[in-house]
Structure 1
Amino acid sequence: MSYNFLKSSMSTVMVLVLTVFGAISVDAQEIHRKIEVKWTMEDGNLGKENPVSKFVIYNTSKEDVSCKNWSLWFNFMRGINVNSVDKKFKIAHRNGDLYQLSFVDGNLTLPASGSIEVSFRTNGTLPNFTDAPAGLYITYDDSTQINAHPVIYNTINKEYTLGEKLNILAAQYDLNRLHESSDVQKIIPSPSALQQGEGFYTISSKSTLWTNPSFEKEGIYLRKFLKETSGITLSPKKQDKKSAGIKILQNVSLREEAYELLIDNKGITIFAAAAKGAFYAIQSLKSLLPAQYWNADLEKIEIPAVGIKDQPRYGYRGLMLDVARNFHSKETVKRIIDLMAMYKLNTLHLHLNDDEGWRLEIPSLPELTEVGSVRNAFYADGNSLQPSYGSGANPQTKLYYSVNDFKEILEHAQKNHIQVIPELETPGHARAAIKSMEARYRKFMKLGNREEAEKYLLNDKADQSEYFSAQSWNDNVMNVAKPSVYRFISKVLDELKGMYQEAGIPLEKVHLGGDEVPRGAWEKSPEITRLRDSLNFSSVNQLWPYYINKIADLCKLKGLKLAGWEEMGMVNNGNGMVTNPALVNQDIQVDVWNNLIGGGQEDLAYHLANAGYKVVYTSASNFYFDIAWKNTFNEPGHTWAGFTNVKKSYSFLPENYFLNVFTNNFGDKLTDGLLANKVKLTDEGKRNIIGVKGAAWTEKILNNERLEHMLFPRVIALAERAWAPKPIWETGTNFNETAFLKDYAGFMKKLGIQELQKLNTLNGGYLYRLPALGLRVYEESLICNVEYPGFDIYYTSDGTVPNLQSKKYTQIIPLDRAKTYRFSVITKDGKVGDIITLKF
């Protein structure tokens, strides 16, 4: 199946075209060839609580179509009130985000060239187009064969009124103005100390390079960068340390990631203790190099004179990438690694499995990828997973990393001084693993080998527990009473260690998940009951720290450090999850995401750090890059954590989070005193905040284009907060907004004018999010600006779509209300942003 996302103006239809691969013979009616389906919102329901939406099923043929003996299946991340459907129809929740629409009225007919509507009420809200149902397909009830057939499907975009558009554009205009003042930041991320010198050093083919033997690879890296980027080949002449124009020298008194960089008219000198420091000094050189020198064939380039002493604020500077919900290739991951390294991030957390997919080959357990990496409509036979997140009826192949693929990722990361931490999600979010091991169980039972069949089984066949996970699953939790669960984890860890060893890279830390085990799991499992009785536990809640202790000890036996989500440091004593000081001595790194304002856990990271846990602050409010940028219908992403633009990411204060929090995640002003009693970091707690991390969950990120759009440039703001020294506006009891806005403006100027222009050429160009256009009507004139500078606005006044041959916005436009204006940000290489249409 292929996806083609077409998104331009707010009035343009966004079509999801589903193409059949390997179609199966069908019922003689071939209804799937005769219908098209549209999904739309009832008028006035967009953004409302529990809105009404509908499918319109069109008969495109010239004969009536019976609604008997066929069903329409679809994925929908929002819960449906199945009782809200007209009695002629039935919508049933099957599991996860999969629903089945069937026809109760056996006499119902789709008239020739006609249509029927099926309305239903959704739980929650539907804020943007990525919440729409997806992956539609038909099955026939009376077919003698297993069957599933995609259908043509489209969703209608939201058409805003002129007044709504002008309000949105005016608010964006005001936000865009924040970067108008201040000088351009010199380097991203900001160094610890920078002193501007006078003049510059000229690099040409006559320039010579000398490196300490410890930094030979960094010297090769610098030569390659200059050659590929600016066309300059440094002189191959061997020079002594004294006469070389560019030197990379060793200073063992510096920290591992620290460096000093001195540039004057005589040359460039880098000091570092270790290769990492030298590598990061070169990244600063790259940041100093103006964008016009990139993708050029030059005889010389000029680097401004500076003196820099630098080291990172945090030792852990990370990005979590979910490749389980929707798979992303090794080539995509390597592209992301390159940008992480350029901005001095040093940890890639790969989320390799979840309910919807297992994405890493484990040779001794082939079912994990044979079953766990495949989603299709034929899942009832147990040899695949059900469709999720619009994956559709037919299977896609090779949606996992082979051992060689994974080693290639590891090796590429190591070259860029990035540690890859694999995540094996346990015991919840484990459905892909559970179903895979069920398939293994059946295979060996057919062979009469019960011992082997049960060796890695992850669930209790007699378990009658009833639960509903955050993603609507009822069968996604490992049974922690089973010894085979720990045998399975041990086997996977051993194979992971082997892959790292073959790549010549030690596996030092593993992430074992530990989040969102739903209430009700384990309550009615005979095996759990036996374990509880043997341990004299009074509640299944006590099994949680029991499990964490077990996997922590298992990791220690294998010489591994354990990381997990925040719940690993928590326990439910009967009144909800709270910090568990009893497990601090297990030396578990906890990744804390939950700081949602108004959610009650705003200070959770500080509770855990103060208790002694090593915390990587993974703020959902600031650094979840699957979250939508802003509240408009054509903006992709989740909205449960509000909205996150560059400014919100940049403004994160890891050690003083509440200082600049004045609204909730949706922009509503806070109730007075809401945060007054929240826990603050102690001195010990500050030492336990070991890093910050961003995260990209991929339920709504189906391809590389969307992934890069969601990640960049927000990841660059993450890098600023992870590396740069604590800013003055993170200290004290009153937020220094003036100082913040000055720094933010300098950052945005550097980002837009320099860094994003470099991304246009690096690795063939990145598909980062283009800046939003702001516009105000002022005294019968139109005034425009962009979200980050360095980008041009093009427009037309005759209703045609703007392109590079259209008028470029350079000054205020006199408003003619008889004309239809269309605006868009367009890059020099033809990338087009959202097209804004204004008809007065």
Structure 2
Amino acid sequence: MNNKKISLLALAVVSFLGSSAVPASQSLVNQISHFGVRYEVTDNQAALHGVDCAALGADWASCNRATITLTNNGPTITSKNWAIYMSNVHKTLAVESDQFRMVHIVGDLTRLEPTEKFAGIAAGASIAIPIVNEYWQLFITDVMPRWYVTSGDASPQIIKVTDTEDLTSFVAPFGDQWKSKAQDKNILMQANSRFTKNHDIKQLAPDDLRGQITPTPLKVVIAKDDADLSKGVHLELASLPAERAEAVRQRFSLLGISMNKAGYPVSTRIDPAALKDIPAQSGAYRLVINKDWAEVTGYDEQGVFYGLQSIMSLLPADGSGRIATLKADDAPRFAYRGIFLDVGRNFHSKAAILRMLDQMAAWKVNVFHFHLTDDEGWRIEIPGLPELTEVGGRRCHDLKEQRCLLPQLGSGPFSDNNGSGYFSRQDYIEIVKFAKARGIQVLPEVDMPAHARAAVIAMEARYQRLKKAGQDKLASEYRLVDPEDDSNTTSVQLYDRTSYLNPCLDSSLHFADKVISEIQLMHHEAGQPLRSWHFGGDEAKNIRLGPGYTDIKRPEAGKGQLDMSREDLPWAKSPVCQGMIASGKVSDLAHLPSYFALKVSGLLKQHGINRMQAWQDGLKNAEDAHAFATPEVAVNFWDTLYWGGFDTVNDWANKGYQVIISNPDYLYMDFPYEVNPLERGYYWGTRFSDERKMFSFAPDNLPQNAETSTDRDGHYFSAKSDKAWPGAAGMSAQLWSETVRTDDNMEYMMFPRLFSLAERAWHRASWEQDYQAGKEYRGGETHWVYQQALLLDWQRFANILGQRELAKLEKHGIRYRLPVPGARIVSGKLEANTALPGVEIAFSTDDGKSWQRYDRQNPPLVKPGVKIRSVSADGQRFSREESL
């Protein structure tokens, strides 16, 4: 009987038997997939309320309580043969129910399963499962979506209520569980507190914003007349290559300005000699706008391009085309002005990246730091190594990880979401070409030796495939693990030893060489030579050997108790690494990441790549920048300031490294915008970073920031350094993607904060002070910073964003974050404001059934229970709603 006849027979049998043909395990899975799920954080200060967090092994003895409630919407279940998989970014330390246990798989993947004492769940009944987790759960995005159920060989199914990005559908309101500790002095952002925070920012008249170029130029003189671009522009762009000229035309068109030979004439030229009073550096320009014509004189192509962007920055959002006449002299503050995007944790589309690049160019940001790989995903096609994307670029429920990586970060058991995905070779080339046309250098990062699990698992799948085919030598060519290494180590993201490629293997270096070679070829084909390579290098450690843990045999108060005899440094039990240390090639295990970085720098030099970059902790055991083969070595400096970063930054600069200021507490865009549990993001470095905080950051005098901000817990801190400070080489804002699953999430987290980064990286403000060794800034006590100048500068910038720039984002289809309004009721009248004046506010007096525009000149009479939200300029999108 042929296969077709067998299939038809099977179909007939299933049809005849009906639902009874479905295996019992599949029926069970299908039923549980319709369970109700409720996740509730019940105590974020569990150590104060009877939980021995130290004995449970919690870092710094910090743990929280939560309750998972499952509701059976079908027939009674007595089977114990099922499990629910979920992503727990904070490890579950205990289950306070003898009917269930929680089993950690790898990373954040955890399995909840019945024990032998499971008593069943009756039809329509609910069962509460109290758990204890490490650390805190302060924002709703600590809970990940897409829990799924399995049983035996049945196909897994996502539990329906969790298959959403609207986490409020199964996560209970946090109530008063928004503080990590009793001493937490952060302020919960609600309507009233937000109104108070915004109250010092007034809405400016349009005339007050006239002639305001973004980012702010070195010098500008505004004249009284206007130039009219409403009938189009006639661009003379002979000073630019074709692709850059086309990028300029596209941007004008996007903003509603047509190309017209009879339009307003704009001429350009490159003439460094004509810019004698402007710093002689790439990107410098002079812009003259008269009533009847404009001229851009650039130091180089980049200067011409930026001068044209400055013209476009003046265009109003309403498309009227009228701009101020003026003369501007301008040059960048830092040569390196970067945006970092992580596509490893969650994938983001090429279309979203191109939209981002266009905005970067408009705001004169010139480096795209492209984080292409991590534990959770490999996102770039490498010819000859198909497993990197076929296995390392996909997630699914394959416990052996031969077809894909295990689910992480709420991706669920299937590969049809942004947990999976990669850029083809041609995709990457197109991205680089697009960036090149806009004066943006693409800096690829392939993270190693830690954060390398996607590569490690993919190359193990390759090894198994070729080994099975009898090609033993070829199988080992790019293998990244020592098979005899059984070190017990835990990465920061809770992965085991598979998180680290082995730096002692020749095959690891061969792998690095292969990847560098292939990406270098892509850059060559795109017409942008690869001048710099990002090694990654961060967090190559065992988190359980950190300072927040103690040996259970010699316990220290306030720390998690572990059996330290069972904990290893990465590669501790690798015979290959042990041999290298015994031979004296490497002094000890701690030096292995820097040793591997030095080796990779040699590869880069051989490829003619003269600049290497890394996260600073990956190079900490190298003597200095001169130890590397590349002439230039840069570090992304990511120590938090209040934990001493204001001082340690000097050490890196004084060792000859180019320091790229990347501090998490000010420049991580994956952190929440405000202290409210409904915001998205991680918060280990700070509880919030909004546009204002990023704008107020002083990147070249880090101690100064102690006067303008607080630490993670809302406390003042003091900062000074007695060391010399050679100055920063650049500044970068980072968007890590653990909680950023979709393109909409990405744009929400990035915009408009990207603009504050662009402003500080391009322009040094009058209120920023020179670094002075030994000068101490004490938050709440000293008053070195001219706070009124800072306030007025922010007021100007906030109005530019609210009245002009957000509407431009809409023209490009970018789903930026609308600020949630602040509001209060005074004498029965609604008073409302936003962080970005000019953004429209709406209110509802009938529980959201209908909405009215808020008029700040004539505040309406309302009663408690009124709802508020902000509205996009096109009226199509709204902020989160809040009630008073």
* TM-score interval (norm. to shorter): 0.7 to 0.9
Matching of residue 415 in structure 1 with residue 437 in structure 2: yes
Aligned residues: CA RMSD: 2.6
Distance 2:244 2:348 in 1: 29
Counterpart amino acid of residue 405 in structure 1: D
Which of 94, 116, 140 in structure 1 is aligned with 2:105?
94
2:670 matched to which residue of 1?
A: 626
**Retained in 1: the 8 A contact 2:288–2:328?**
yes
**What is the aligned partner in structure 1 of residue 566 from structure 2?**
none
Alignment pair present for 1:811 and 2:858: yes
C-alpha distance 166-479 of structure 1, shift in aligned 2 (>3 A): closer
Separation in 2 of the partners of 1:354 and 1:123? 23
AA of the residue aligned to 1:323: V
Shifted more, 604-613 versus 740-749: the winner is: 604-613
Instruction: Provide the residue aligned with 2:573 in structure 1.
Output: 524
Aligned to 1:373: 393
Query: Is the aligned partner of 1:834 residue 2:880?
Result: yes
Residue 551 of structure 1: SS of its match in structure 2?
Answer: helix
CA contact (8 A) 1:313 1:726 kept: no
**Structure 2 CA distance for partners of 1:713 and 1:47, relative to 1, 3 Å:** farther
**Superposed displacement of residue 408, structure 1:** 0.9
Residue pair 1:729, 1:735 contacting (<8 A) in 2 also: yes
1:427 partner amino acid: P
Query: Counterpart in 2 of 1:272?
Result: 298
**Aligned match of 1:246 in 266, 269, 272?**
266
**Residues 308-359 of structure 1 deviation map (CA, whole Å, 9 limit, x = unaligned):** 1111011111111000100011111101101111101011011111000000
User: What SS class does the counterpart of residue 246 from structure 1 fall into?
Assistant: strand
| 1:27 partnered with 2:47 | no
Shift of the 189–214 alpha-carbon distance from structure 1 to 2, 3 Å rule, reads closer
Q: Give the corresponding residue for 1:477.
A: 500
Distance change >3 Å, CA 377–CA 679, structure 1 → 2? farther
- Give the counterpart of 1:557 among 594, 601, 606: 606
CA-CA distance at 1:536 after TM superposition: 5.8
Asked whether the 8 Å contact 2:380–2:425 carries over to 1, the reply is yes
Q: How does 1:718-733 map to 2 (within 5 A)?
A: 718-731=757-770
Match of 1:544 in 2: 593
Q: List per-residue Cα deviations over 1:143-169 (Å, max 9, x = no partner).
A: 3x36322112342342658x9999732
Paired residue secondary structure (1:29): helix
C-alpha deviations, 1:364-413, integer Å up to 9, x for none?
Answer: 10010111011111132522111000110122387100111111111111
What is the Cα deviation at residue 544 of structure 1? Answer: 3.4
Deviations 1:608-657 (A, max 9, x none): 01221111111211110000111111111111111101111101111111
Q: How far did 1:779 drift?
A: 4.3
Matched, 1:73 2:85: yes
Query: Which residue of structure 2 lines up, in the alignment, with residue 822 of structure 1?
Result: 867
In structure 2, what is the equivalent of residue 359 of structure 1?
A: 379
Q: Deviations over 1:30-53 (max 9, x none)?
A: 343344142322545489952211
Amino acid in structure 2 at the alignment position of 1:823: I
Structure 2 runs not aligned, ≥5 long:
1-21, 48-61, 163-168, 180-186, 276-280, 543-568, 776-783
- Equivalent pair of 1:179/1:746 in contact (CA under 8 Å): no
Query: Are 2:450 and 1:432 equivalent residues in the alignment?
Result: no
Partner of residue 173, structure 2: 158
Contact 1:773 / 1:825 at 8 angstroms: preserved in 2?
Answer: yes
After TM superposition, which residue ranges in structure 1, 4 or more long, deviate above 6 angstroms?
163-167
Aligned to 1:311: 331
Aligned to 2:125: 114
| Pairing partner for 1:147 from 149, 155, 172 | 155
Q: Is the contact between residue 198 and residue 822 of structure 2 (CA under 8 Å) also seen in structure 1?
A: yes
Work out the CA distance in 1 between the residues paired with 2:175 and 2:674: 15
Percentage of matched positions with identical amino acids: 27
Q: Is the contact between residue 605 and residue 630 of structure 2 (CA under 8 Å) also seen in structure 1?
A: no
**TM-aligned CA distance change 1:778 to 1:318, over 3 Å:** same
Long gaps (5+) in structure 1 = 1-23, 238-243, 573-578
Please state how far the C-alpha of 1:675 moved relative to its aligned partner: 2.4
Equivalent position amino acid for 1:492 in 2: V
Which residue of 2 is the match for residue 695 of structure 1? Answer: 734
Cα distance in 2, alignment partners of residues 79 and 430 from structure 1 = 21
Question: What is the count of residue pairs matched by the alignment?
Answer: 779
Q: Is the Cα–Cα contact under 8 Å of residues 127 and 631 in structure 1 kept in the other structure?
A: no
> Aligned ranges for residues 173-188 of structure 1 at < 5 Å?
173-180=195-202, 183-184=208-209, 186-188=212-214
Cα shift at 1:221: 4.5
Residue 689 of structure 2 aligns to which amino acid in structure 1?
Answer: T
Cα distance in structure 2, aligned partners of 1:207 and 1:409: 28
How far apart are the structure 2 equivalents of 1:649 and 1:134?
A: 30
> What displacement does 1:557 show?
0.7
Give the direction of change, closer, same or farther, for the CA distance of 1:207–1:355 in structure 2 (3 Å limit).
Answer: closer
Aligned residue identity for 2:146: G
Q: Is 1:665 the counterpart of 2:678 in the alignment?
A: no
1:36 partner letter: F
Over 3 Å counting, the alpha-carbon distance change for 1:75 and 1:588 in structure 2 is: farther
C-alpha separation in 2, matches of 1:559 and 1:192: 36
Match of 1:486 among 472, 487, 509: 509
**Which one-letter code corresponds to 1:53 in the other structure?**
A
Letter in 2 for 1:775: A
**Residue in structure 2 matched with residue 241 of structure 1 by the alignment:** none
> After superposition, where does 1:634-783 map in structure 2 within 5 Å?
634-642=678-686, 643-662=688-707, 663-666=709-712, 668-670=714-716, 674-676=718-720, 678-682=721-725, 685-686=726-727, 689-731=728-770, 734-761=784-811, 763=812, 765-783=813-831
Structure 1 position 259 matched with structure 2 position 285: yes
The separation in 2 between residues aligned to 1:167 and 1:252, in whole angstroms, is 50
Range with greater deviation from structure 2 (632-641 or 790-799): 790-799
State whether structure 2 residue 614 is matched by structure 1 residue 614.
no
Q: Which residue of 2 aligns with 1:56?
A: 69
Q: 1:249 to 1:26 in 2, by over 3 A?
A: farther
SS at match of 2:195: helix
- Larger deviation, residues 659-668 vs 192-201: 659-668
Partner SS for 1:392: coil
Q: Does 1:514 align with 2:561?
A: no
- Aligned pair partner of 1:192 in 218, 236, 239: 218
Task: Tell me the CA shift for residue 537 of structure 1.
Answer: 4.5
Classify the secondary structure of the residue corresponding to 1:699: coil
Cα distance in 2 for partners of 1:442, 1:123 equals 36
What TM-score do the two structures reach when normalised by structure 2? 0.84
Residue identity in the other structure for 1:491? K
Change in Cα spacing, 1:442 to 1:738, as seen in structure 2 (3 Å) is same
Alpha-carbon shift at residue 591 of structure 1 (Å):
3.3
* Structure 2 partner of 1:138: 149
Look up the equivalent residue of 1:454 and give its one-letter code.
S
Residues 460-495 of structure 1, C-alpha deviations (whole Å, 9 max, x = no match): 000021111110111211111100000000011111
- TM-score relative to the length of structure 1: 0.88
Q: Distance in 1 between matches of 2:23 and 2:657?
A: 58
